[in-house]
Structure 1
Amino acid sequence: MCPAPQLSRPHPQATPRRAYLVGTGIAALAAAAYLIKEGGLMGPNVVLFEETEHFGGSLDATGNPKDGYLMRGGRMFEENFNCTFDLLSFIPSIGDPAKSVKDELMEFHQEFSWDDKARLISGGEIVDVSDLGFTEKDRLDLVALCATPESVLGIRTIQDCFESEFFNSNFWFIWCTTFAFAPWHSAVEFKRYCLRFLHLFPTIDSMRGIYRTRFNQFDAIVRPIVAWLTMRGVRLEKGAEVTDIDVLIQHGQKTATCLRYKQGGEHRAIDLTERDLVFITNGSMTSDTSYGSMDTVPVLNRERNGSSWKLWERLASISPDFGQPAAFVSSLAKSKWESFTVTGDDSSFFDRLEAFSGSSAGHGGLITIKDSNWLLTIVLNAQPHYFEQPKNVWVWWGYGLFPDKPGNFVHKPMSECTGREVLIELLSHLRFADSIPHILDSSRVVTAMMPYITAQFMPRTGTDRPKVIPKGSRNLAFIGQFCEMPDDVVFTVEYSVRAAQTAVFTLLDVKRGVSPLYKGQRDPGILFSAWKTLHRR
């Protein structure tokens, strides 16, 4: 029995509809915006619950020049992210409220489009990637994978579908570090990526089809959306952990009847009517992140403490229609990797890397060290990368896809290294040995160990992720990276915004349709260009 609600709630026919959103990641923020813009809800009737003191979920960016900045990751965009651009088209940008976030992003792409001239390096030298390294068997296997139904692929992994030589090809090194795939990840997700980004195959080495935001995604996207919602009276509750949601299952229908949460040390509950809506961000790729510094190591959190996983596990115990979270958290060794953010007091590292790569910051794209045991990848973003970043400070980012392997120069796993040691390993690979003392003295490194960062890529069945609107649901939806939608790809902002559109438009019977999903595989020109790329030498 749900305790008395905190607010007086009249008879459902006499009260306006209310919406409650669990989490403040991009999916929840987008859903809140669409509830107001398309659903007609008043801002004060929309409430978001955030268990931490920071909004934005995985689209985070914090820090300062003195202690060092931190980004757990950075998101890439491309011209066919139709849901994302629809959302950003009505949100004023942080730099110029007269422009939308979409306009700012498009203008920035024109000014700082990527043309990567050093996508892969090995032995301190740039690798010629004009030859993607495919064998004829690789090509046939790739085509066969893309033609195999997901129901047939099931829980097969990528390495189940290719010969071992495939994983030494330039294509694989580029593809896996662009999207963070490992050989043991889901063949279904790999197939979806191949089809979804087929139109980007011809520019995979230069990354010319990739778009980036002017600032990090927290400043460029989260802050503007939060400002837009706040201006309309939306309630964003910090330090509010949703602990449970009561769901009545009767005659095949599922109705959320009570939302329970903890805030300020007090347990509270909200009684829900059938008209009220609940949107749940189930699971989190950045849950339980631990951090290190120049002289400390991030200690891997092995216990799931984040409320998004706990809540999903409780709901999954009620009905199989709510998915199976265990499929995604069964092996931390296969779902974790480590990123690092470097804050420099001068441009010395930027100067060296720009001269080496042949591209200025903001134009060069990702640089992957092919012979790194950790498979290190770095990027120099256009500066400033933080909205309030001082002019005399430089910030850059990188990650290691295999943090449990011993380093090539620092002979221990990345996961056991301080930020100082991570920087030494990277600079040694780049053959910047003479610059190591100065760069170490003028830099702060913040490392981030993320246990579930690629959990959404783990092999799964077709029912392990709940549908956005579970079977029989009357007022409850799942949004974010761990809900199920056909064809589109997880680990993208686009997937989260598509889930938000789908949830809001369906539950409120909004007449406009969800933004269309681009399917380049239906375009003969795209297919031909991709085929030529597979045979490029």
Structure 2
Amino acid sequence: MEVAAENNRKDSKVYLIGSGIAGLASAVYLEKDAGITGENIHILEKEMIAGGATDGAGDQDQGYVVRGGRMHEMHYECYWELLSHIPSLEDPSVSVRDESYEFNQRFVSNAQARLLKDGQKLDVSSYGLSFDQQKDFIKLTYVSEKSLGNQRIEDWFDQAFFETKFWLIWTSMFAFQKWSSLAEMRRYMKRFMHLVDGLHKLGGVMRTKYNQYDSVVRPIKKYLEEKGVKFEMGKEVVDIDFNLSADKKTATVLHLKDKTEIVLGKNDFVFFTNGSITESTDNGSWDTPAKLKGLEASGSWTLWKKIAKKDKAFGNPNPFCDNIDLQKWYSFTATMKDSTFQDYIENFSGNVDGTGGLVTLTDSNWLMSFVIARQPHFPNQADDVNIFWGYGLYPDRKGNYVNKTMSQCSGAEMLEELYYHLKIQDLMAPITAAGKVNCIPVAMPFIDSLFMPRNRGDRPDVIPKGATNFAFLGQFAEAPKDCVFTVEYSVRTAQMAVYGLFDTDHKVHPMYESTHNPKYLLGALKAISR
């Protein structure tokens, strides 16, 4: 890789394939730090809406949809730095970072109903780990990642570990499965050591004022458009040509689905978000289940598979996208023109909306969880409308009350299953009968793909060795030590790409490593032995 001052050329064009948070962050840094003029930055997006997995859409009549929720924490060094430059849409004199900080000072996560069984709260003051399981936990943080290879979590811990309250909290909060990558779990344990003590109450978890599309994506998009950045929606890149020699790799041509080509000049660059956790998703409705789609409906996976065959430095997508049954889960978003459900949960849990976080039904066959964010969760949400989100990690199992798998259920049936678990089916029946509730299920075939067991090199380096004018971005590029399934990871790869390919006076923000702080190590040790 050559980093040269002449790369700071005003006539360089940069093409960003994908408009997720990694692509948006790259555009900010390219314009702000690398001296690329906004008009020369092109974001090519297959969909008609920007944001990738940082999403949120809908209205109170058609129903709202958030496919997932992004938890944040104070030590997302790259992410908060990015948002410190972005003006809030509601008050442009305040940055999105400061808007989020202020919001989290008012609504502090302190979940009082984290795990439920038989509709009642479980005591989570102890994680329930045996002495041997505690030793396994500690040992995992000290072995090298390289030594773990592509082992699964179940290869390390005994089967009883997966019945503990610690695992129930962990699996529902982060969406790890028994068969997920042990190396990724180790990264999480090291990266979030400072949160282990308060994990049972979601202590230290931060959120944005609204859903991530309205709070993060829309402000960044407005900022970039004002700088002249071009958003080219409905533009799908289906292949990339490279000039590959012994010591250099150069991208030369982008092929688009509409049969057009973009020939890269000698000063031009391309950044590719390879892979996507929200590709091929499908929305159902109140009456109909969501459909499970696959690779054939995907843009980024198909493109990555195509270019990975050209050079081993471009990674190996197959472990991440070829096992949909191990990667999928289903989520749902309920829109209620009534406060009965929210009032019940608030009284039952002791948490006002925005302070409780995830509630997990430990005896649910689907391992269903739900969360009521601070209302309103959308800027266009009326005062008398409440929404909440939920998901199930095991969508191929039949419900405890509804005699269907979660994947076969409509929005109405998913809510019915939830009501029975909470023992509020009679309370909610009149609300449903009055047509005051809608629920939209979503099938997400690749949502857990980033946790699949992998080998070194399966995720390509952000800037592969010898790359002269291209970089990989996002959850499936390699950012050593940091944790996938976080917005921080995506923004970190953006910094690595821009500051690695362009001669700037900026460096990638160092990762916060709480394992270097004895206070947090001791706190974690006490917590797992409670």
C-alpha displacement of 1:268: 1.3
Q: Does 1:519 align with 2:498?
A: no
- 1:124-523 paired onto structure 2 within 5 Å: 124-262=119-257, 266-440=258-432, 441-523=435-517
Shift of 1:106: 0.2
- Alpha-carbon deviation of 1:406? 1.1
The alpha-carbon distance between structure 1 residues 15 and 513, as it changes in their structure 2 partners (threshold 3 A), is closer
Paired letter, 1:489: C
State the Cα distance separating 1:437 from its structure 2 match: 1.2
Q: SS where residue 71 of structure 2 aligns?
A: coil
Q: Deviations over 1:184-239 (max 9, x none)?
A: 00000011001110000111011120000000000000000000000011000011
Contact 1:337 1:402 in 2 (8 A): yes
Distance 1:333 1:76 in 2: 25
Q: Find the residue that maps to 1:30 and give its secondary structure.
A: helix
SS in 1 for 2:176: coil
Distance 2:450 2:197 in 1: 27
The CA deviation string for residues 310-333 of structure 1, in whole angstroms up to 9 with x for no partner, is 111111010000000011112111
Distance 2:376 2:10 in 1: 47
CA 1:15–1:383 in 2, change beyond 3 Å: closer, same or farther? Answer: closer
CA separation in 1, counterparts of 2:266 and 2:430?
63
Query: Residue 6 of structure 1 corresponds to which residue in structure 2?
Result: none
Quick check: 2:8–2:34 contact (8 Å CA) kept in 1?
A: no
**Shift in Å at residue 243 of structure 1?**
1.3
Deviation at 1:13?
A: 11
Contact 1:255 1:274 in 2 (8 A): no
> Equivalent residue of 2:521, what SS?
helix
Determine the C-alpha separation between the residues in 2 that align with 1:152 and 1:356: 46
In the other structure, the counterpart of 2:3 is none
Does 12-21 or 136-145 show the bigger shift? 12-21
Q: Provide the rounded CA distance (Å) in 2 between the counterparts of 1:274 and 1:319.
A: 21
Secondary structure, in 3 states, of the residue corresponding to 1:324? coil
Structure 1 residues not aligned, in runs of 5+: 1-11
**CA shift at 1:46, angstroms?**
0.3
One-letter amino acid matched to 1:93: S
Q: Could you tell me which residue of structure 2 aligns to residue 9 of structure 1? A: none
Deviation at 1:150, TM superposition (A): 1.4
Q: How far is 1:14 from its partner?
A: 9.2
Q: Deviations over 1:54-112 (max 9, x none)?
A: 11011111111111000101101001000000000010012211100000000000111
Deviation at 1:133, TM superposition (A): 0.6
- The answer to which of 495-504 and 301-310 deviates more is 301-310
Q: For each residue in 1:239-260, what CA deviation from the matched residue of structure 2 results, as whole angstroms up to 9, or x when unmatched?
A: 1001111110013210011112
- Work out whether residues 342 and 443 of structure 1, in 8 Å CA contact, stay in contact via their aligned partners in 2: yes
Query: Which stretch of the first structure deviates more once superposed, 510-519 or 78-87?
Result: 510-519
1:4-50 CA-partner distances (Å, limit 9, x unpaired)? xxxxxxxx999711110001000000000000111111100000001
Are the equivalent residues in 2 in contact too, given 1:72–1:339 (CA < 8 A)? yes
Q: How does 1:74-93 map to 2 (within 5 A)?
A: 74-93=69-88
**3-state SS of paired residue (2:196):** helix
**How many residues in Structure 1 have an aligned counterpart in Structure 2?**
522
- In structure 2, what is the Cα distance between the partners aligned to 1:167 and 1:510? 47
State the AA in 2 paired with 1:275: N
Residue 528 of structure 1, aligned match among 519, 522, 530: 522
* Equivalent AA in structure 2 for residue 272 of structure 1: L
Spell out, residue by residue over 1:391-424, the C-alpha distance to the aligned partner (whole angstroms, 9 max, x if none): 1211110000111111111122101111111001
Tell me if structure 1 keeps the 8 A contact 2:8–2:36. no
Structure 2 unaligned spans of 5+: 1-6
Q: After TM superposition, list the pairs within 5 Å mapping 1:30-69 onto structure 2.
A: 30-69=25-64
TM-score, structure 1 normalization: 0.96
- 1:416, 1:156 → 2: CA distance? 32
Q: State the one-letter code of the partner of 1:162.
A: F
Tell me, yes or no, if the aligned pair for 2:330 and 2:443 is still in contact at 8 Å: yes
